[in-house]
Amino acid sequence: MAASEPGPRMQQASISEFFEKNKHFLGFDSLTRSIITAVKEAVDNSLDACEEARIPPVINIEIRRVQGRKDELILTAQDNGPGIPYASIDKAFGRLLFGSRFHTISQTRGQQGIGITGVVLYSQLTTGKHTHIISKVAEEGVAVHVDIGIDTKRNRALKSNHRRDVWLDEHGIDIPHGVMIEARMKARYQKGSKSVHQYLRMTSIVNPHAAISFRMLDEDGRVIEQASWPAVTEKLPAPVKEIQPHPHGVEIGTLQRMLRDSEQRRLSAFLQKNFSRVPSARAQQICEIAEISDKASPKRLKGEQVRALQAAFKRVKLMAPPTDCLSPIEDLLIKKGLAKAIDSKFVTTITRDPCVANGNPFQVEVGLLSGTDMPSDSPIEVLRFANRVPLMYQQGGCLLTKVIESVDWRRYGLEHPGGRGIPKGPVAILIHLASTHVQFTSEAKEAVSENEVVFDELRRALLEVGRSLKSHKRKSTQRAKAREKFELINDILPEIAAKASQILGREVPELTPVITKIMKAVFIEDEFTWDADEKRTQVNLVLFNYTARPRSYTLLAKWPERDGVEIVDDSHEGRREVYGLRKWKLDTLESGESVTLRFAITGLEKDEWTETEVFFRGAGDIIGATRLDEKMLDQMRREEEAGLLQITEPEFEEAIEAFTGVAERAQEADEVGAPEELDVEDEDDEEAVRQTTLEDGWGGGE
């Protein structure tokens, strides 16, 4: 028998009593929550089974009110997974808390509570009904149809009405493989932020490879709510690798169980064989510090010795655990997942590199989306996930929420009264924490507990998406302003000239000098298009000189440089300046002229890259681009030489903030000042920018 199953002691107490006592963390503590938990257990099972069998999951959920019965629902959940062989059905649906004696850990969805068995048990306890199962495996000709109940005295599955029969879909076609469960339970369906709909929506966001559909039927069969989220990628998540626990992350209870189950007779061997990153020298050292003989029998250690052993782990320097065991969603797929659930005009995502906190590998991913029809005066939508499982309850007490609250979102253009609490605006923030061991505040597994390392890592990720949001907002305002100006000179001004001339019967005046007087600036417009035939992103950067004199510039643009991604067909033969930054030296641009810089990027997916940041060197500002800060460039060069391609130092992040802040203020001052002071020469404005920049200690310029 597996060690973590309810042992002989458990069998005497009634299993229903155990369920009753623990229903708050099993997720069945209220009528409205029970249906969500039931759906969740079914969906988790289906996703795990499909991923293991490498089948793109298709999951249908249907809930129906029972006629004439208050607060009674029938849940039907169907998947296209591999199916469960008849012999394993009772194990899968009818047994509580079965674990593994092999103490490996991995990033799994993890059963919340007792898994699908909880649904079977809850149905039985509240309605007396057994759960109907249909299962079909590809190898067998017909499906298994069976009702499952729980023998609460003996903790066993009760199978009844077993028959073998065909299983057809609504078109009368054989279903090749999959599982369908139908459970009837006391539960209440509600809409809103804590609902089945929201749970499935969130699940679909972090499982872009899954197709999920949902229907809610009234007691007379009328559809009262329905939704479907298609799969947006064929790429299944990488199979998670199992690793042994790292001594720095092991908890006392786990350690005790591991010692009890040990197959090694000596403690030093036990340490080397069961933990990652413990070579023999370190095992010896641990035993010495714990003052236990390295030959001691692991099974016979006393309570205080176990504690001494755990304390000793902390005092030994060990290599960090391997992090390749994690399976992040990856930023592009988060982008696609968010896009299918929420209409958006801007999405930015980031997957940070894996890290280790207290011996546990973890990885954070953050997505920020600015929606098209989300309310602008209510708090932003927070979407929390741990190992791809949506967290819907206890938002306030969760580390993931606290990190969002720790950022002053006013700096990134969101409304955030007093810089405290959740910011407001038409924005959704997604946070995904992937780890072999997510620490929750309680058994209910709804809120992630405090951890400094995870907190800092998440905060960095949030600041990064915050910066993208800010730069996007700045770009959209600039773009809107530029668009207005272009409309002015291309449409309105020629009409004024034509109409005035027509009224007076005079010649139409030459407008080029008028245009430079009105615009008195250099503009840059960027244009991104997806070339479906060539599978590449086409980028055009158009520079207009609407000043009275010639201008010459060097332009620099950020691009997603990495292996397999290349710039091709570059019209102006740019050169690499530093990692991720390309440079083009342009010929002098005469007054009133424009030049188009064209290039394409291969190796990217559609919508993967739709916005860049353009910098420039040269005299006079460019609306739509930022003057290159040479110090920032030097820093980037040093980072590249040191092999640190990511800019993570907080001081440096603040420095970038300070710098872009100055540039913006200068630019705003320039834009505001321009229409009033018609006679001011361009040079004065430049001088002003340079001075402001110098005062703040950031020397801009050539």
Partner 1 sequence: MTERREHSREAVIEALHGVAAEMHDRMSKGESPTMSLPVRTKKNIQFDKRLGVYKYGRKRTVRDASSLGSARQLLRALHIIEFIEEMIESGKSSTLREMYYISEGWGNGKFGSQNESNNLAEDLEIVTRCLREDFRLRPEEDGSRIIGNMTFNELNRRGEWMRINARDDVGDSGYGVPYNVEAEKIELVEHDVDFIMAIETGGMFDRLVENGFDEDFRAGLIHLKGQPARSTRRIIKRMNEEWNLPVVVFLDGDPWSFRIYASIAYGAIKTAHISEYLATPSADYLGITADDIGAYDLPSDDLSPKDIEALKAELTDPRFSDGRWQQWI
C-alpha span between 142 and 148 (Å, rounded): 19
Contact segment (CB under 8 A) with partner 1 among 80-88, 441-449, 570-578, 671-679 equals 671-679
Contact segment (CB under 8 A) with partner 1 among 189-197, 222-230, 501-509, 560-568 equals 501-509
Please compute, for residue 134, the number of CA atoms within 13 A of its CA located in the half-sphere on the CB side. Answer: 20
C-alpha span between 702 and 628 (Å, rounded): 9
Quick check: 199 and 390 in contact, CB under 8 A? yes
DSSP letter, residue 610: -
Question: What totals of helices (H) and strands (E) does the chain contain, helices first?
Answer: 18, 24
Q: Which of residues 275-314 bind partner 1 (CB under 8 A)?
A: none
- Taking phi over 0 as left and psi of -120 to 50 as alpha, with beta for the rest, 276 belongs to beta
Residue closer to partner 1 (CB basis): 492 or 694: 492
DSSP letter, residue 29: S
Closest approach of partner 1 to the CB of residue 568, in Å: 38
Q: Is 485 in the site for partner 1 (CB under 8 A)?
A: yes
Q: Is 165 in the site for partner 1 (CB under 8 A)?
A: no
Residue closer to partner 1 (CB basis): 234 or 510: 510
Residue closer to partner 1 (CB basis): 221 or 675: 675
Q: Is 511 in the site for partner 1 (CB under 8 A)?
A: yes
Quick check: 349 and 334 in contact, CB under 8 A? yes
Q: Is 506 in the site for partner 1 (CB under 8 A)?
A: yes
Q: Residue count at the site for partner 1 (CB under 8 A)?
A: 27
Three-state DSSP at 427 gives strand
Total Cβ atoms within 10 A of residue 329: 26
C-alpha span between 379 and 398 (Å, rounded): 16
Residue from 55, 227, 493, 688 in contact with partner 1 (CB under 8 A): 493
Residue from 20, 165, 169, 491 in contact with partner 1 (CB under 8 A): 491
Q: Is 502 in the site for partner 1 (CB under 8 A)?
A: yes
Closest approach of partner 1 to the CB of residue 484, in Å: 4
Residue from 66, 175, 444, 488 in contact with partner 1 (CB under 8 A): 488
626-634: Cβ within 8 A, 24+ apart: 626/660, 626/663, 627/663, 627/689, 627/700, 627/701, 628/556, 628/700, 629/659, 629/698, 629/700, 630/699, 630/700, 630/701, 631/698, 631/699, 632/656, 632/659, 633/577, 633/578, 633/581
Q: Is 673 in the site for partner 1 (CB under 8 A)?
A: no
C-alpha span between 572 and 132 (Å, rounded): 68
Encoded one letter per residue, x for contact with partner 1 by CB under 8 A and - for no contact, window 513-542 reads xx--xx------------------------
Residue closer to partner 1 (CB basis): 291 or 590: 590
Residue from 87, 504, 642, 672 in contact with partner 1 (CB under 8 A): 504
Closest approach of partner 1 to the CB of residue 673, in Å: 12
Closest approach of partner 1 to the CB of residue 681, in Å: 15
Residue from 295, 499, 562, 665 in contact with partner 1 (CB under 8 A): 499
Q: Is 477 in the site for partner 1 (CB under 8 A)?
A: no
Contact segment (CB under 8 A) with partner 1 among 418-426, 503-511, 624-632, 690-698 equals 503-511
Q: Is 158 in the site for partner 1 (CB under 8 A)?
A: no
Three-state DSSP at 61 gives strand
329: closest CA among 451, 400, 433?
433
Contact segment (CB under 8 A) with partner 1 among 138-146, 154-162, 481-489, 556-564 equals 481-489
Closest approach of partner 1 to the CB of residue 406, in Å: 39
Q: Is 480 in the site for partner 1 (CB under 8 A)?
A: no
Contact segment (CB under 8 A) with partner 1 among 44-52, 182-190, 497-505, 580-588 equals 497-505
Q: Please provide residue 588's backbone torsions phi and psi, each rounded to the nearest 5 degrees.
A: -60, 135
Residue from 165, 484, 534, 649 in contact with partner 1 (CB under 8 A): 484
Contact segment (CB under 8 A) with partner 1 among 133-141, 393-401, 507-515, 650-658 equals 507-515
Q: Please provide residue 211's backbone torsions phi and psi, each rounded to the nearest 5 degrees.
A: -105, 120
Residue closer to partner 1 (CB basis): 226 or 502: 502
Q: What residues contact residue 469 under an 8 Å CB cut-off, 6+ apart?
A: 346, 348, 368, 370, 412, 413, 414, 427
At 516, list the tokens: 């430079």
Residues near partner 1 (CB under 8 A): 484-485, 487-488, 491-493, 495-497, 499-504, 506, 509-511, 513-514, 517-518, 674-675, 678
